[in-house]
A and B are shown apart, each in its own frame.
Chain A
Amino acid sequence: MSAKDPNRRDLLRVLGASVGAGVGATAGLAASAGEAAAAPARTRRWGMVIDLDRCTLCSSCTVACKQENNVPVVGPDDEHVGAQIEWLSILWQEPEQPGGLPQGMPFPCQHCADAPCVKVCPVGATYKNDEGITMQIWDRCIGCRYCMVACPYGRRSFNWETPRWDGTQIQMLNPDVATRTGGVVEKCTFCYQRVRRVRERAALEGREIEDEEVRRLPACAAACPAEAIVFGDLADPESRVSELARDPRRFQLLDYLGTDPSVIYLKRDRR
């Protein structure tokens, strides 16, 4: 659990003061927990910059995402309309004013710094990890779908039925990602399995993760022929992703909601 959530921590302190009686009895427990916690070397915030001026909507990212993350195929029949599982799809926004440009954009989970889905999860199946990724632990999810209705971006998908892989299709599953069962919510993880792989390799080699090796790390970024998707550490001002995020064309989706997404878009630029 992230310790960086100031609002919640403040709330806790206030509540903690009012709780009173129970505190004394359990203070010892808290102290012992505190000792064991190890400080991370450096606080990362993984983020993504999607340059819409580069993006051509070729949709490779959406397919790469499905391939990497064992996202099940949900059929086209009427029953499955709206049951599609989309970690990353193309968001299409018609112009608000007549004569404006329509805008399409690769649309992964925004990994909000202040994520509405995380707040509402009753069991902690979804949470912000130390590196700013909104994770979903499939096994813990009870399927209440609260996170889905809380997410302003609609970037969470429910397994309306247990996914099936027909015949030999099962052989192409990525062994690094667990398949999900029916009745759980799933979402983009920034390809955490790949991040983990890179981190372990770096740790085994006794070095820090380099920006170079993560720029095209997530499956969507790796597949993008236009190199429109760049991944990296937003907390590191030197990283490519931070550099791009300083571009004046930057915008975040629904920034007025105060969610502070870690996915930063760069506006399309047309004559």
Chain B
Amino acid sequence: MSMTNADYEKAKRNRTLKLKLWLLFLILPPAAILIVFVFVPMGSAVWYSVFDWDGLVRKEFIGLANFQDILFNPLKNKVLFNAFMNNVKVFVSLMLVQNGIALVIALLLARNPKGYRFYQVVFFLPVILSTVIIGFQWKLFLNPVFGLVNKFLHNIGLHDWALPWLGLPETALNSMLLVNSWHWFGFPTLVFLAAIHRIPKDFIEAARLDGASEWRIAREIIWPLMAPAITIITVLTFIGSFNWFEIPYIMNGLEGSPAGSTDMLGLMFYRTAFGSVSAGGSNFGSGSALAVLMFIFIFVFSIIATKYLTSREVEMN
């Protein structure tokens, strides 16, 4: 009955302790999974990158020599630069083509045309399909001899247009980019559409009453207010572009064939780390160094881009 002040304090501390244990119980399991399967391997990759490797065997510590080798060895940096520029091209093209088409379609769907639901479902359908399936399917379609694309072009009389799409340095990457756009455009479309729907109706109706043209409404009201969606799609496209691997790997193999025109940083990493039949043995050191460079580049750029783009967003509340 007679509890001292200290007893009360103790009782309170017990309550707090119980709460802390409960929080620990909630956070620890997911955190442990993340640490063990993401943070530790990522950290190890950084660790690996500062060692000399004889193929698969770790030898002595060599500091930044692996990085230096990738960045400044004239032959390797030629490959690196080529792959990097291809990644840049992928990013720019996807922004313009894939996201551009998506924006147009989103603006059209925002007008709530007949069949709205149907179109939404159809345009999203390719997004859920595996890249492996899409890659193989289009590789078959684009086959210069048996492919449906060229057969179709012949059928409609465009014989000169029937090209070995994936075999020409000028068309291979572009074909893959179109395939990628076909695969993914539904995603930005729906993100943009959701963003447009979030714009209060009053804004648009007020502008209509003021006599603004549809084009002006799109440009001066919808576009600026969509900024958050543009930010997220830009950053996602950026991360996707610089991690691009599946489509080029499946459609034209590890070497970025033909003649390096579809080489990507992802393919280069894979070849460097694991080797390939033609490209030779594996080098975990260089591979890890390349991985670290890519990681830093992607991470830093995503953050800068997010910061920059977010600063342009208009508050809408």
Same complex: no
